[in-house]
Amino acid sequence: MTVGGVPLAAALAEYRPDAEIGPLPTPVDSDALLSTYHPDYLRGSVVTLAVGANAGGSCQRDLAELLQAEAFIDEADLAGIPVTDVDVLVVGGGGAGCAAALTAAEAGARVLLATKLRLGDSNTVMAEGGIQAAIEPEDSIQKHIQDTLRGGHHAGDPELVARMAEDGPDVLRWLIDLGMQFELTPNGDLRTRRGGGTSASRLVFCRDYTGLEMMRVLRESVTLHHNIEVWEQSPAVELLSNECGLACVGAVLASLVDGGLRIVRTRSVVLATGGLGRLHLNGFATSNHLGATGDGLVLAYRIGARLCELDSFQYHPTGLVFPSHLAGKLVTEGVRAAGALLLNGLGSRFVDELQPRDVVCAAILRECQEGRGIHIDDRRVGVWLDTPRLEQAEPGLLERQFPNLMSRTRGSGVDPRVQPLLVHPTLHYQNGGVVIDLDGASSVPGLFAVGEVAGGIHGRNRIMGNALLEIISFGRRAGRAATTTHDRGPKKVTVEHLNHMRRALTLAGLPMTRRTPMILPAYARGTPCTR
């Protein structure tokens, strides 16, 4: 990243919340903006995959290294490991995993939910902005579909998008029945606001704690459900296949506590492992939780599942640059939806703040690269998110609507009510993922994928509030469908698919020195986590 522009101290001294702001410059062509400044288009960041279901397709380089790598498990490892039999195995303890587990359990299945960290440690819990559902009279399911497809640059699958948008209102009903609260208007309607890139007011929210409120309700429901067993600190290190290596019949789980392995045999596996922000693609900071290392993509790819849009990631426009311990963490888009402006080092606006995220992100990167950013040191640069102006227009608004933002910055010496926030794009979301059908089923029999690990809905850019909708909509769909697979075929579980993969890697002349999935980022590993 090139750095230049105004030093932080000078920019702060210059800043006035009531300064006159000139008109927005005429917008440039957004395609040109994206192809020049968006990280997806960085030269050398994309490679062509040599093996697997996507061979010949393009993929981000760091991710390709993980997909085309050696596994932790060998056939010999399977002997003598304790075996557990369940109907449905859900891998991942965020919102999508919980929704799938609850739905499968309600349908009578015995469910095991295995999660790498603690149940609920996920990106869901950090979601602040809200969940999209077309419920206002002037809005419609059709508009929601159009906004989602347009936001995704028409790379999304219209069928998947249509089902998700149609599910919206019923998803809210399901969540309310489980006991999730939302903001209301004085006459009892669900309060909505407009997210970036949408044509109607469609975001339903709970202050800026929407994800937390959702996650604690889901977590309690899962914990207290008699048909669901939860194993924490138990990452999946490999999937298991049938004798031909062509169907998924279980998984090998490792324990982060004692390093022991366990085999789980099941009728179906639901992957709900989330995203990969902790790979820090292209050197970016991330908004993601510690476990977001793309494990699900690796496991699915090795067993033969087709993936999509592996070269497309979302960089959220407003990640914090300062305070340091929150570097990369988000300021919700809700703040911009409420009216906060973005200003460069010269105190001018440079983009319509409610454009889709990729466009706003590219615009911020342009300002920083062309020397109109505000910089702390050689590495850290950003632009202002003008929160004091918002506070001045409506005193008390930040405390009332964004208590999470206020509580996170309290004690760090930055008060968003008087000092604008220094923000820079941060790696936020994996737009693509495992290719799924309307039931969340992957191209491998017995393997489902839901939530961020799945792809096809958001095309090449996700609009705000569709992630929380997707995890519940498709989590429930996959949970239902996973219970209908009755016969898992021959009793034998194997790692035959690994033999296929190893042969292909050898033929392609690729090194097999690295073992994946990553499980934890290197800086957080302490000791080797599995073996």
Partner 1 sequence: MAADQKGDHERVPLTINGQAIDAKVGVTLVEAAWDARLPGITGVGCLEGVCGSCRVMLRRGKEITLGLACQTFVETGLEVIFLPPSSAPRHHYSISDFRDSWDIHARFHAIFPEASRCRHCHGCVTSCPKKIAVEDGVALAAAGRYREAGEVFLECVMCELCDGACPELIAPAHVGLFCRRVTAHFHLRPPNLVTRLEELRRKRLAGSKGESERE
- Of 23 and 137, the one with the shorter C-beta distance to partner 1 is 137
216 pairs with which residues across the strands? none
The residue within the footprint of partner 1, chosen from 207, 389, 476, 497 (CB under 8 A), is 207
The residue within the footprint of partner 1, chosen from 163, 267, 289, 476 (CB under 8 A), is 289
Residue count of the chain, please give it.
Answer: 531
361-380 positions binding partner 1, by CB under 8 A: 377
Task: Provide the minimum distance between the beta carbon of 213 and partner 1 in the complex, in angstroms, as a whole number.
Answer: 8
Q: How far is CA 463 from CA 13, 181, 283, 322, 460, in A?
A: 35, 23, 23, 25, 10
Token readout for 310 is 């592996």
Element (H, E) at 307: strand 307-308
- Of 119 and 160, the one with the shorter C-beta distance to partner 1 is 119
Task: Provide the minimum distance between the beta carbon of 347 and partner 1 in the complex, in angstroms, as a whole number.
Answer: 27
Residue 209 makes contact with partner 1 by CB under 8 A: yes
d(CA 61, CA 461): 19
212-241 positions binding partner 1, by CB under 8 A: 212-213, 216-217, 219-221, 223-225, 232-233
d(CA 224, CA 232): 15
Instruction: Output the 3-class SS for 443-478.
Output: CCCCEEECHHHEECCCCCCCCCCHHHHHHHHHHHHH
* Among 520, 132, 457, 93, residue whose Cα is nearest residue 309: 457
The residue within the footprint of partner 1, chosen from 60, 266, 387, 404 (CB under 8 A), is 404
The secondary structure of 356-401 as a DSSP string is: -HHHHHHHHHHHHHTT-SEESSSS-EEEEEEHHHHHHHSTTHHHHH
Query: Judged by CB under 8 A, how many residues of this single chain contact partner 1?
Result: 66
Active site residue 226: no
String marking each residue 147-186 x if it binds partner 1 according to CB under 8 A: -------------------x--xx-xx--xxxxxxx-x--
Residue 189 makes contact with partner 1 by CB under 8 A: yes
Amino acid identity at 327: A
Exposed/middle/buried for residue 385 (C-beta within 10 Å: 0-12, 13-18, 19+): buried
Residue 257 makes contact with partner 1 by CB under 8 A: yes
74-103 positions binding partner 1, by CB under 8 A: none
**Which segments within 45-199 are labelled E, that is strand?**
46-48, 58-60, 83-85, 88-91, 111-114, 131-132, 192-193
d(CA 484, CA 360): 43
Task: Provide the minimum distance between the beta carbon of 488 and partner 1 in the complex, in angstroms, as a whole number.
Answer: 29
Exposed/middle/buried for residue 413 (C-beta within 10 Å: 0-12, 13-18, 19+): exposed
Neighbours of 504 (CB within 10 A): 15
String marking each residue 106-145 x if it binds partner 1 according to CB under 8 A: -----------xx-xxx--xx------xxxxx---x----
Task: Provide the minimum distance between the beta carbon of 188 and partner 1 in the complex, in angstroms, as a whole number.
Answer: 6
Task: Provide the minimum distance between the beta carbon of 204 and partner 1 in the complex, in angstroms, as a whole number.
Answer: 8
String marking each residue 464-503 x if it binds partner 1 according to CB under 8 A: ----------------------------------------
Q: Which of 38, 207, 302, 336 is catalytic?
A: 336
Q: Is 204 helix (H, G, I), strand (E, B) or coil?
A: strand
Active site residue 503: no
Residues labelled catalytic: 316, 336
Which positions touch partner 1 (CB under 8 A)? 117-118, 120-122, 125-126, 133-137, 141, 166, 169-170, 172-173, 176-182, 184, 187-190, 207, 209, 211-213, 216-217, 219-221, 223-225, 232-233, 256-257, 289-291, 324-327, 329, 377, 403-404, 407-408, 520, 523-524, 526-527, 529
